[in-house]
Structure 1
C-alpha cells in the first residue's frame, strides 16, 4: 500500500534528469526544424517558378499562426513544468504519478490542463489526495483525451456519490483499462453497479476494492461481473466485512477467472462454511499464486473437512492464514495439504494460538517446502515439542529470508535448537525474536553464530521485549553486532511497563555502529541514558554525519520524579 515516489540519486547527489516537458519541447523544436529543412529543399526546387503575391501572404499568415501556436505551447508547458515541480513530481514517459502530494482544488484544475499534452498517457495515479473528492468530475470530463489509459489509481481520494456516478461514465471511455484501484473510498460501497459497467471482453487484469464499505449486494454484483473479466489476474476485496454473505455468488463468478493469480479476502467476514464454498472453486484456479484469507476470525473449524481441493493450487506461492482462529482439527487437515504445495514461498500462520499444542506434525513437514522464503509463526503459543519440530525442519529451508518467531515464550532458553538453522540460512535477511523470554545464554548462542559470519546478509534484527537479558548479555551482543555488515534496523526496546538504565554496553553499541555502514534505525525505547552516556551520544552525533535514528519513544524525566540523578532519554 506504499504510495511513495522515487528519485534517482547516488551518495546524496542527484543525477540530472530530462523532464517530460523538456522532452516534449525538444520534440516540438525537432519537428519544427525538420519542417524548416523540408521547406528549404522545396524552395530550392522551385527557384525558377516564383509564387504569386497571394500565396506569399498565405504563407506569411501560416507562419505567424505556427509561431503563435508554438509560443502558446511553450507557455503552457512551462506552467505544467512549474506545477509538477511544486508538487515534487515528474512526468515519466507515459506515467503521471501525483499520488500523496497534497493536491488542492487549484492544483486539480491545473492538472486537468495537463491532460491534452498526454495523448499517449497509460498510467494516472492521484491516490491519497483528499481534495480529489468532489472534484473528480473535472478529470472524468476529460477522460476522452486519455483513451489509451491502462492504469487508473484513485485509492483514498474521499470520493463522493457524485464522483462515483461520473467515474462510471468515464470508465466507459477507456477501453484499454487494465488496472483499477478504488480502495479506501467508502462511497464506493452500495454504488458498485454504477461504477463497474464492464462488458464482456473487458481487458481488466487488476481490480482492487479494499475497504470500500461494500455491501452484500455489491458482493453479489461482483459475482455477476466476474464472468465478464476473463483477463482478471488480481482481485482484492479485503476489509469489506459484509461480502461474506454473498461469497457463494462471488465463488460462482470466480469459476470463470481461470487466469486469476492473486485472490485477497482479508477481513471479509468469512465463516466456517466459507472454506467449503471456496474449496469448490480451487480446481478452477490453477494459476493462483497468492491466497489471503487472513483475519477472518470465524473461519476456524472450516478446514477440518473442507479443504481437499486446496492441494490443487500447484503454483501457489503465498498462503496467508494468520489470525483465523485455526482449531486443532484445522491443523490436522492442513498438515496433509501445506507440505504438498511445493511452490510455496511465503507462509503466514501467525496469531493462531491453538497451534501451540497441535502443530508438531505440520511444522516437522515444512522440510518438504525447500522454496520457502518467508515463515511467520509469531504469537502461536508454541510449546517445547512444537518448537523442537520447527527447529529441526527449518534446517531444510535454505532459501529462508524472513523468520518471525516473536511472542513464543518457549524460545527462551531453547534458542540453541535453532543454531544449525541459523548456520545454514545464508539468505536470512529478517529475524524477529521479540518477546520470546530470551536470556543471556540465548544471546550468547546467537553471538556465536554471528561471530562465524553465518548471518552475513541479515538486515533486520528484533530482540525487543526480552527484558530478562542482563547487562552482561547485552554487552557480549553489542561487542559483536558489528559482524552484521548489512544490518539496517535493530530493535532492543524494553516492554512498555519497564524502564532501565543503559549499562556500559551502550559504549560498545556506539563503537559497533561506526562499523555498520547500512544501519539507519536503532529501537531503544525505555532505555534511560545517564548523563555521562548522554554526552557520549552527543559527541557521536557531532562526529558523524550519517543519519541514524535512535528511537527512544519520547520518555521524559518528569514521568519518573523518583530518579536520584539527572538522566536523559536516548535520542539522535
Structure 2
C-alpha cells in the first residue's frame, strides 16, 4: 500500500499565487510549466508500491525541485502583471489588448514570455505598435501556446516581409481563428498568398481586414480564388487598395460563393464602370449582406446606369455608402428605381456627388419609403431649390432619423423653413450638420424657435460653422435658447478660414447657456475675435464653472 506525506505547514506560505492569471482568465487552468510542476509534485508526494520481492519501498520525498519551479513561475507571473501595469493596460478575461501601447522590442519580448501562461487566450491585439515590425517571429514562434486564439489584430505594425512569412506559418497553429486584421501594413501587398495559403476548406475565419495593404492585382486574384473556401466569412474589407479594381472579375466570381457575407468594403479600390456590372452579378448571391461600401471610387460614375438591378435583391442591406463616386444623372435615375426598395436601409451616404444637384429630385422624394433610415448624408451634393424641397418633404416621413448632414449645399440658406416640420417631428435627431449652407439670420431664428418649443431635445452635435451671413442678432437669439438642448455635447459656430469677426454681446448669452448644459464638452469658435473684456469673461468662466469645456478658437495666423 502507498504512503502519503503529510502537508508541511510551510506549504501554505510557498503555495503558488495565481491571482494575475485568475484575473486574466476566469475559470481557466494553467498549462505548461505550472501543470507540469504540479504533476511532478504529486508524483513526488506519493510513494508507490513496487511488487516483486514482497518488500515495501518508500521513495525519498525531494521537495526542492517543485518548490523552485513554483517560485520561479510565481516570479514570472508577477513580472507579467508588472508588464501590463507599465503599459497602462490590464488583462480582461480571455482578451489581451495592447493596441497603441507604444511597445518597444523589449516589451514584445516580455509579452512573448506571457503567452505560455495564457493557454485559453482568445483575443490578441497589438495594432499600432511600430516595433512589432521585425519582431513578429518572436510572437509567432509561441502561437502554439495560444491555439484557442480567435481574434488576431496586427494593424499598422510595420510588418516586414519576414514577418509576413512567419505569420503564414504560424496560422497553422491557431485553427480556431475567426478574425484577422493586417490593415495598414504595406508589405502584405505582393505577399498575401504567403499568409493566407493555410486557409483551407472548413476555415472558421469570419472577418478578414486588409485595408491599405498595397495589395497587387495578383493579390486580388488570389483573394477571388480563396473566397469559395471561406464559407464562414462575414466581413471582407479590402479598402484603399487601388489595384484591386484590376482583379475585380476574380473577386466578384469568388463573392458568389460567400453566401454568409454581411459586410463588403471596397472603399477607394480603383473601381470602374465595368466593376459595377461585375459586382451586380454577385449581389444576387449575397442574400445576407448588411453593409456595402463602394465609396471614393471616382471612376465608378456611370456604372449604375445599366447595372443596378441586383442591388435591389439585398433585402437585408442596412448601410449603403456611395459618397464621392462621381455619380451621373443616369446613375441617379437607375438608383431611383433601386434604393427605395431597400426597406431595411438605416444609413445612406450619397455625399460629394455634385452631379446629383440637378437630377436627384425623384430619388430624394422617394426616400420616404425608407422608414428605418437613421443616417442620411447628402452634404456637398450641389442641391438646387427643387431637389432640396423634395428632400425636405421626404424627410418628414423619416421618424428614425438620427444623423442628418446637409452641409455645403448653398440652397439651404434662406430656405431652412422647408425643414420646419421635419425638425419638429424628429424626436430621434442627434446630429444636425448645416456647415457652409449660406444660412441667414432668419434661419437661425427659426432654429431657435424650434428649440424654444421643446423640439430637438435629443440633439447632441450641431454644426453651424462657415455661415458668415448670420448677424449678431441671430446669434444672440440662438444662444439665448440653446440652453434647452440639455444633451448637446458639441457646437461649432466657426467662421470661414478667410473671415475674422468681433464677437458681439451674444457671447455672454453663449457662456450663460453653457453653464446650463451638463453634457457640453466642445465649442468651435475659430476666427471669432474676443475683445479684452470678453477674454476676461472666458477666463473667469474656465475657473469658476466648467473648465472641462473646450473652446476651440484656433485659425488665427
Fold in common (TM above 0.5):
yes
CA distance in 2, matches of 1:324, 1:22: 51
Task: Name the structure 2 match of 1:71.
Answer: 71
Residue pairs, 1:260-299, within 5 angstroms: 260-299=261-300
Moved over 6 A (4+): 24-29
Q: Where in structure 1 are there 5+ consecutive unaligned residues?
A: 1-17, 44-51, 560-572
> Aligned pair 1:523/2:524, yes or no?
yes
Q: Is the 8 A contact 1:502 1:527 kept in 2?
A: yes
Task: Name the structure 2 match of 1:446.
Answer: 447
CA distance in 2, matches of 1:225, 1:317: 26
> Aligned pair 1:57/2:60, yes or no?
yes
Q: Is the 8 A contact 1:460 1:490 kept in 2?
A: yes
Task: Name the structure 2 match of 1:380.
Answer: 381
Residue pairs, 1:77-96, within 5 angstroms: 77-96=77-96
Q: Is the 8 A contact 2:284 2:310 kept in 1?
A: yes
Residue pairs, 1:289-368, within 5 angstroms: 289-368=290-369
Q: Is the 8 A contact 1:19 1:91 kept in 2?
A: no
CA distance in 2, matches of 1:85, 1:108: 15
Query: How far did residue 73 of structure 1 move?
Result: 2.0
Query: How far did residue 22 of structure 1 move?
Result: 5.8
Task: Name the structure 1 match of 2:468.
Answer: 467
CA distance in 2, matches of 1:338, 1:368: 9
> Aligned pair 1:176/2:176, yes or no?
yes
CA distance in 2, matches of 1:54, 1:238: 71
CA distance in 1, matches of 2:189, 2:26: 46
Q: Is the 8 A contact 1:19 1:90 kept in 2?
A: no
Residue pairs, 1:407-418, within 5 angstroms: 407-418=408-419
**SS of residue in 1 equivalent to 2:264:** strand
CA distance in 2, matches of 1:70, 1:298: 64
Task: Name the structure 2 match of 1:14.
Answer: none
The change in CA–CA distance for 1:428 and 1:19 in structure 2 (over 3 A counts) is: farther
Q: Is the 8 A contact 1:25 1:74 kept in 2?
A: no
Query: How far did residue 68 of structure 1 move?
Result: 2.4
Task: Name the structure 1 match of 2:116.
Answer: 116
Q: Is the 8 A contact 1:307 1:333 kept in 2?
A: yes
- Deviation per residue, 1:71-102 (Å, 9 max, x gap): 22221111111110110111111000000010
Query: How far did residue 295 of structure 1 move?
Result: 0.3
Residue pairs, 1:22-41, within 5 angstroms: 23=23
CA distance in 1, matches of 2:344, 2:522: 34
The change in CA–CA distance for 1:240 and 1:160 in structure 2 (over 3 A counts) is: same
Q: Is the 8 A contact 2:23 2:93 kept in 1?
A: no
Q: Is the 8 A contact 1:403 1:432 kept in 2?
A: yes
The change in CA–CA distance for 1:26 and 1:126 in structure 2 (over 3 A counts) is: closer
> Aligned pair 1:494/2:527, yes or no?
no
CA distance in 2, matches of 1:467, 1:352: 25
**SS of residue in 2 equivalent to 1:461:** strand
Task: Name the structure 2 match of 1:161.
Answer: 161
Matched residue count: 523
TM normalised by structure 2 equals 0.91
**SS of residue in 2 equivalent to 1:336:** helix
Task: Name the structure 1 match of 2:244.
Answer: 243
CA distance in 2, matches of 1:509, 1:502: 11
Task: Name the structure 2 match of 1:207.
Answer: 208
Q: Where in structure 2 are there 5+ consecutive unaligned residues?
A: 1-17, 47-54
TM normalised by structure 1 equals 0.88
Query: How far did residue 24 of structure 1 move?
Result: 6.5
CA distance in 1, matches of 2:411, 2:20: 57
CA distance in 2, matches of 1:291, 1:217: 23
**SS of residue in 2 equivalent to 1:310:** helix
CA distance in 1, matches of 2:186, 2:23: 39
Q: Is the 8 A contact 2:23 2:92 kept in 1?
A: no
Task: Name the structure 1 match of 2:403.
Answer: 402
Q: Is the 8 A contact 1:20 1:92 kept in 2?
A: no
Q: Is the 8 A contact 1:269 1:296 kept in 2?
A: yes
CA distance in 2, matches of 1:206, 1:423: 41
Residue pairs, 1:528-567, within 5 angstroms: 528-553=529-554, 555=556, 559=557
Q: Is the 8 A contact 2:204 2:230 kept in 1?
A: yes
The change in CA–CA distance for 1:25 and 1:98 in structure 2 (over 3 A counts) is: closer
Query: How far did residue 242 of structure 1 move?
Result: 0.4
CA distance in 1, matches of 2:26, 2:279: 55
CA distance in 2, matches of 1:481, 1:286: 45
Task: Name the structure 2 match of 1:195.
Answer: 195
Q: Is the 8 A contact 1:21 1:80 kept in 2?
A: no
CA distance in 1, matches of 2:56, 2:520: 77
Report the RMSD for the aligned CA atoms in angstroms: 2.2
Query: How far did residue 453 of structure 1 move?
Result: 1.4
- Deviation per residue, 1:456-487 (Å, 9 max, x gap): 01000000000001111110111111000000
> Aligned pair 1:134/2:134, yes or no?
yes
CA distance in 1, matches of 2:287, 2:278: 17
CA distance in 2, matches of 1:26, 1:443: 55
Query: How far did residue 448 of structure 1 move?
Result: 0.9
